[in-house]
Every structure is written in structure tokens, then in C-alpha cells.
Amino acid sequence: MLRNAPKFYEVAKRIVEITENSILVAHNAKFDYRILRTEFNRLGFDYDRETLCTVELSKGLIPDLPSYSLGKLVRSLGIPVTDRHRASGDALATVKLFKLLLAKDVEKNIIQQSIRKDPKLQLEPKLVDIIANTPSVTGVYYIHDTEGKIIYIGKSKNIKKRINQHFTGTNSKSKKIQSRVAAVTYEATGSELVALLKESEEIKRNRPPLNRALRRRIFTHALYSFIDDEGYVNLKIDKADGRKKAITTFSNRQSAKSFLLKAVDEFQLCQKLVGLYKTKTNCFKYDIKECEGACIQLEEPKSYNARVQGLIAKNSYENQNMVIVDRGREVDERSAILIENGVFKGLGFYNLNYQINNLEVLESIITPMENNRDNQHIIQSYLRRNKRLKIMKI
């Protein structure tokens, strides 16, 4: 393979060109960088680049693995590799590993440090150039100041369009962004659900100064159940209270009411017992023969409650073990949201069915996230809106 390969001095100029203003990412970067510097020194050229080592990053972001060699690492993560120990195969494996590490770095230390080191970004930014380098994809974007610090995090189905709105807006927040922005980085997600979860999680972790709205809880109302004196399960919309166990949550009272109106028809529930029709007698649905009469104790509590439990089971993933499968960043990739025993564990991306069917591998590629009420709300409301999502029971 080396017999007809070019000599180093023949490709040196090209190496300088393609690595200029870039950060070298390598597995065991010290070794590769030392070899490059040695070869350039022989040519009398001082080769100086920033480097990132995927071995060191892996030790910090995926601790306690028995080995951090590239082969064993990608195998334990289920990353598909071809041509191992060949330049192209190892480089592509390192790219896939680095993408996974970037996803796991929820505090965005890698990106922030790289921006801080980049001298180009200390200049007055050209907003048009930033927009031009931003893709029209679904994902999460990060707006940085000249120190590399994240000042704003957002999500969009079209990042380029959303950044353009920030840079052309005239409201107070847009003007603050325009005056402080030095760079915009992004993470494509493919899935809007992944983007929503990452945005919520990373705003809470990084607390960007211009993200005041999403620091607060993103839902205001919830659906609760109780059993009345006659033994019927009643439903009630109320202000969200973390001390109470909610069936599901809503952004506002109107969306909760719309949900209940649909649920009454879908599960043949009583308007009175779900709190939509205040009366001491029967509900309106009973008058038009669309209620079995639970409101006036004509229907047995057991049969009525079974339908209420059907609604609860459909809109709550309590005690369930499942993976929500959605779009990925590439055509051959899918995103996976892992829920174990009703607890949201985190999310990740996979290419092969082996990665999602093997629970040990699946857990290793998942980026852990908090099972807070905001994330539960995001998942439940997304499932309500997207009926055709693939859900795998595990």
C-alpha cells in the first residue's frame, strides 16, 4: 500500500491548507500530532495546531470502560466500522465516536473551549457570514460570545431561518443577541423531540443569560384523577402542582381542555365526571345518547372506570419500559429516547438494529438526562401530537 504512495513533502502543503484554522481530532492525539510535527520539522516548518483527543474525552464522558482503544471502544458502543487499522476506516470510526462524544457533552465544554481558542472569532462578527454557515436542519443551536461562553440556546426545525430571525429582529432579546454574538454552533438532531429535550436540559445545565423564559417550568396545567363517593374515577384539570401525581401535563388550560374534549369522544367518557359540564343531574352527552349514564349512576363504576384507565394508560408511560424511535441526523440513522420503568433515562442515535435491541449497547450510546417534570411534559405532549411514532417495548 505504501510502495506507490507520495512522500511526505509532496503532501505537506495540502496538509497545511486543509488543517488551517481547524482543530485536529484524533484517537490518542498526542501520538499523531507528534508524528506530524516531527515530519514538518524535517522540512523546516513550524506546524502548530490545536488538538482534541477522543481517548481523553471518552474517559471523561464515558467513564469506567475496561479499554479505550479505538477498536474496543467503538465495538462497545455498537459503532459500525469497516477497514479497521486502515486510514479511512479508523478516521471514519473516530468521526462517529467524536459525534457521540459531542452529543454526550451536555455542558458543551468541548465547543466552548474550541471557540475560546479560535482567534478569528475575536473580531467584530459579520452576521451575514454566520447565517451563511448555518444549515437549514432540525436541531439545537448555541449562540456564543467572544469568550466562547453560551449566551443563548434554542431549537428549531430550520436553524438557518431561526438564526436569521434573531439577527434581523428588533425586540429586546434580538438586539442583545446581535450585540454580543461572536459565533453560532449547532447540533443537528433530525428529530424535533430530541431537539426539544436537548434544549430544555442544556438550558438548565448551562443557564445562558438570555434564556430566562425556559429556565422556568414549561407547563402550567395538569390532568389529575380522583375517585368520588360513588366509586367513579373523575378527571380534573388543575394548575400543575409538583406534590401531586399528574396523568399528563399541558402548556396552558386551553390545551388541556381541548385534550379532554377529544378524550370524551374517543373513550366515551362522561362530560360531568371529567369536569367539562357542571351540573347536579345528567350531562349533555347523556341527553343525546352518547353517555352511558355514569353521571347519574346508571352505568356501573367498573365498566366506566375501565375506559378512564384506558385513557390514563395511553397518555402516561408510568411503569413502562420502552424506546421511542424517531428521525435521525442522517437517512440511515434513527434517534432513540429510552424510558425504563416509567423513568426517562436519556437519548441517543443508532445506525444498526443491533444497537437498539441490545440493552447494554443501547444504554452505552444514550446520553443520560434528568427525569424532571419538564422532560416528561415534552415527551407526553410530543406523543399526543405524533400518533405515528414508532414505540418499541423492551
Top CATH class, 109-210: alpha beta
CATH topology match: 8-103 vs 109-210: no
Q: Give the pLDDT confidence score for residue 216 in this predicted structure.
A: 58
Q: Give the pLDDT confidence score for residue 264 in this predicted structure.
A: 92
Domain boundaries, the chain: 8-103, 109-210, 221-315, 322-393
| Closest-CA residue to 308 (of 227, 187, 393) | 227
pLDDT digits (tens, 9 = 90+) for 184-215: 999 999 999 999 999 999 998 889 999 876 55
Return the CATH architecture of domain 8-103: 2-Layer Sandwich (3.30)
Residues 140 and 202 sit within 8 Å (Cβ to Cβ): yes
pLDDT digits (tens, 9 = 90+) for 230-251: 999 999 999 988 788 888 989 8
Q: How far apart are CA 63 and CA 27, in angstroms?
A: 16
pLDDT confidence band for 143 (50 / 70 / 90): very high
Q: Give the pLDDT confidence score for residue 378 in this predicted structure.
A: 92
Q: Give the pLDDT confidence score for residue 110 in this predicted structure.
A: 85
pLDDT digits (tens, 9 = 90+) for 45-81: 999 988 899 999 998 888 888 889 998 888 888 887 7
| Closest-CA residue to 303 (of 231, 224, 226, 229) | 231
Q: Provide, rounded to the nearest whole percent, the portion of the chain with pLDDT above 90.
A: 51
366 three-class SS: coil
Q: Give the pLDDT confidence score for residue 121 in this predicted structure.
A: 42
pLDDT at 124 over 60: no
According to DSSP H, which parts of the chain are helical? 8-19, 29-42, 54-61, 70-76, 87-104, 109-117, 127-132, 159-168, 172-180, 192-206, 212-215, 253-267, 284-287, 301-315, 353-357, 359-365, 373-385
Mean pLDDT of 266-275: 93
121 vs 387, residue with greater confidence: 387
Please give the helix or strand (H or E) that residue 390 lies within, else none. Answer: strand 390-393
Q: How far apart are CA 70 and CA 186, in angstroms?
A: 26
pLDDT confidence band for 350 (50 / 70 / 90): very high
pLDDT at 18 over 50: yes
Q: Give the pLDDT confidence score for residue 212 in this predicted structure.
A: 78
pLDDT at 30 over 50: yes
pLDDT confidence band for 116 (50 / 70 / 90): low
Q: Give the pLDDT confidence score for residue 269 in this predicted structure.
A: 93
Q: Give the pLDDT confidence score for residue 385 in this predicted structure.
A: 87
**Complete DSSP assignment for 258-301:** HHHHHHHHHHT--TTTTTSS--SS--HHHHTT-S-SGGGT-S-H
Mean of all residue pLDDT scores within the chain: 88
Mean pLDDT of 29-40: 91
308 three-class SS: helix
